[in-house]
Structure 1
Amino acid sequence: MAVFQALQKDASAVDNLSLSPSMTLSSSRLWSHKTRFPIANLACVCIFLSVVPAFASVDFPQCFADIKEGKHGTTGGTDNQGNPVADITKATSITYEFCQQACGTGGGAFSWSSFSQQFSAWLLPWLALLSQFPFGSKYKEDNLMSVILSLGSPCLAAYSLSLTVLNTKWVARRFANVKYPNSRDAALILSTLQHTPVKVTTGRGLLASLVVLPENDAWWKELGDRLDYADTHTWTIAGATSVAWVAVAYALTIIDAFSTISTDPNSNGQGLSGVGSIWLWMLPLTIAYLQISPRCDAVRVAKALDDTNDISFTACDNGAVVNVNTVNKMRALSMHPDRGSLYHDQDATAPIFHYARLFSFTQVVEEFMSVFHCASENAKEHFAVDRTIPWRMGDGRTIHPANRRGTREQVMAYCHPSIHGDPVRTYPPGRVPPSHWGPDVFSRLLIASVAALALQWSTSGASILIVYFTPTVGESSAYLLYAAVATLIWAIMVTSSVITHYAAIYTENVGLSQRRERRTAARVAVLLRWLAKCLAACNAAWIITAFLLQFGNFYDRCYCNSDVLGLGKRAHNVMQLLGSDISAMKAAWVGGVVLAVVGSSLFLGFINVFIDPW
Structure 2
Amino acid sequence: MLAALANKSLIFLTALIASVDLVYVNASVDFPQCFADIRNGSRGPTGGTNNQGIPVPDITKATSITYEFCLQACGSGRGAFSWSAFSQQFSAWLLPWLALLSQFPFGSRYKWDNFMSVILALGSPCLAAYSLSLTVLNAKWVARRFANIDYPNRQHAALILSNLQQIPLKVTTEGSLLASLIVLPENDPWWKEVMERLDYADIHTWTIAGVTSIAWVVIAYALTIVDAFSTISTDPNSTGQGLGSIWVWMLPITIGYLQISPRSDAERVAKALNLANNISYVAGPNGAVNADTVSAMRALSSHPYRESMYSDQEATAPIYNYARFLPFVQVVEDFASAFRSASENAKKRKPVNSDEPWERGDGQTIHPANRSGTAAQVEVYCTAPKYVRRSHWGPDIFSRFVLASLASLALQWSTSGASILIVYSTPTVGKCLPPILMHRLTVIFADRPRLQVHRISLYAAVATFIWIFLVASSVLSHYATTHPDHPDVSHRAAAHGAVLFRRVAKFLAICNAAWIITTFLLQFGNFYDSCYCNSDVLGLGKRAYNVMVLEGPDISAMKTAWVGGVVLAVVASGLFLGFINLFIDPSP
Q: The TM-score by the shorter chain falls in which range? A: over 0.9
Indicate yes or no: 2:278 matched with 1:310.
Answer: yes
Cα deviation digits, residues 55-102 of structure 1 (max 9, x gap) = 431111111122223333323222111122222222211111111111
Identify the residue that residue 272 of structure 1 maps to in structure 2: 241
2:436 corresponds to which residue?
A: none
Cα 1:540/1:382, change in 2 over 3 Å: same
Residues 162 and 230 of structure 1: CA distance in aligned 2, closer, same or farther (over 3 Å): farther
Q: Which residue of 454, 464, 475 corresponds with 1:498?
A: 475
Cα separation, 2, equivalents of 1:252 and 1:36: 24
Q: Deviation at 1:553?
A: 0.9
Go from structure 1 to structure 2 and tell me whether the alpha carbon gap of 1:48 and 1:540 turns closer, same or farther (over 3 Å shift): farther
Corresponding residue for residue 197 of structure 1: 168
Q: Give unmatched runs, 5+ long, in structure 2.
A: 1-5, 433-452
Instruction: Please give the alpha-carbon distance, in whole angstroms, between the structure 2 residues aligned to 1:264 and 1:436.
Output: 59
Q: CA deviation at 1:123?
A: 1.2
> Structure 2: how far apart are the matches of 1:185 and 1:53?
66
1:261: how far off?
Answer: 2.3
Distance 1:540 1:175 in 2: 41
* Alpha-carbon contact 2:17-2:525 (below 8 Å) kept: no
Q: Which residue of 1 aligns with 2:448?
A: none
Q: Secondary structure of 2:488's partner?
A: helix
Taking a change above 3 Å as real, the CA distance of residues 532 and 41 of structure 1, as seen in their structure-2 partners, is farther
The answer on 1:445 being equivalent to 2:418 is no
Q: Equivalent of 2:562, from 583, 586, 589?
A: 589
Establish whether residue 564 from structure 1 lines up as the match of residue 552 from structure 2: no
Letter in 1 for 2:247: W
Residue of structure 2 in register with 1:518 after alignment? 491
User: What's 1:16 paired with?
Assistant: none
| Superposition deviation, residue 53 in structure 1 | 5.8
- Aligned with 1:468: secondary structure? helix
Q: 1:339 aligns with which of 306, 325, 335?
A: 306
Matched, 1:359 2:330: no
Contact 2:14/2:521 (<8 A) preserved: no
Q: Mark the CA change 1:140 to 1:47 in structure 2 (over 3 Å): closer, same or farther.
A: farther
Give the aligned residue type for 2:169.
V
Query: Do structure 1's residue 225 and structure 2's residue 196 form an aligned pair?
Result: yes
Contact kept, 8 Å, 2:420 with 2:456, in 1: the verdict is yes
Q: Any conservation in 2 of the 1:263–1:578 contact (CA below 8 Å)?
A: no
Residues 1:145 and 2:145 are matched in the alignment: no
Separation in structure 1 between the aligned mates of residue 171 and residue 534 of structure 2, nearest angstrom: 60
CA distance in 2, matches of 1:545, 1:51: 18
- CA–CA separation in structure 1 for the residues paired with 2:144 and 2:283: 30
Q: 2:581 aligns with which of 597, 603, 608?
A: 608
Change (3 A) 1:45 1:110: closer
Q: CA deviation at 1:613?
A: 4.7
| Structure 1 residue 179: Cα displacement | 0.4
Moved more, 133-142 or 604-613: 604-613
Structure 2 letter corresponding to 1:191:
S
Equivalent residues of 1:160, 1:352 under 8 A apart:
yes
Counterpart CA distance in 2 for 1:47 and 1:376 is 70
- Across the aligned residues of Structure 1 and Structure 2, the Cα RMSD in angstroms comes to 1.9
Which position in structure 2 is the counterpart of 1:261? 232
Name the residue aligned to 1:574.
547
1:126 aligns with 2:97: yes
Displacement of 1:390 in angstroms is 1.2
Change in 2 beyond 3 A, CA 1:474/1:210: same
Distance 2:548 2:102 in 1: 42
Q: Hey, what's the Cα distance between the residues in 2 that align with 1:482 and 1:51?
A: 29
Equivalent residue number for residue 416 of structure 1: 383
Which residue number in structure 1 is paired with residue 211 of structure 2? 240
Find the aligned partners of 1:542 and 1:39 in 2 and give their Cα distance: 13
After superposition, give the CA deviation of every residue in 1:320-341 in whole Å (9 maximum; x if it has no partner).
Answer: 1100011010100001113211
In structure 1, distance between residues paired with 2:142 and 2:22: 55
- Structure-2 residue corresponding to 1:17: none
Q: Which position in structure 2 is the counterpart of 1:531?
A: 504
**Residue in structure 2 matched with residue 372 of structure 1 by the alignment:** 339
Q: What's the offset of the Cα at 1:109?
A: 1.7
**Superposition deviation, residue 153 in structure 1:** 0.8
The Cα of 1:230 is off from its aligned counterpart by: 4.2
Closer, same or farther in 2 for the Cα pair 1:338/1:36, shift >3 Å? Answer: farther
* 1:137-156 deviations in Å (ceiling 9; x for gaps): 00000001101111111110
SS in structure 1 at match of 2:240: helix
Alignment-derived partner of residue 456 in structure 1: 412
> Matches of 2:96 and 2:235 in 1, distance apart?
28
Distance 1:547 1:51 in 2: 19
Please report the TM-score for the alignment, with normalisation by the length of structure 2: 0.92
Note closer, same or farther for the CA distance 1:230–1:483 as it changes in structure 2 (3 Å cut). farther
Query: What is the aligned partner in structure 1 of residue 466 from structure 2?
Result: 489
Find the residue that maps to 1:108 and give its secondary structure.
coil
Q: Residue type matched to 1:406 in 2? A: G
How far apart, CA to CA, are the structure 2 residues paired with 1:124 and 1:38? Answer: 13
Worse overlay, 390-399 or 114-123: 114-123
Residue identity opposite 1:308 in structure 2: A
Residues 333-383 of structure 1: per-residue CA shift (max 9 Å, x gap)? 001113211000011001111110110000000000000000000001111
One-letter identity of the residue aligned with 2:266: A
User: Which residue identity lines up with residue 372 of structure 2 in the other structure?
Assistant: R
Query: Alpha-carbon deviation of 1:42?
Result: 5.9
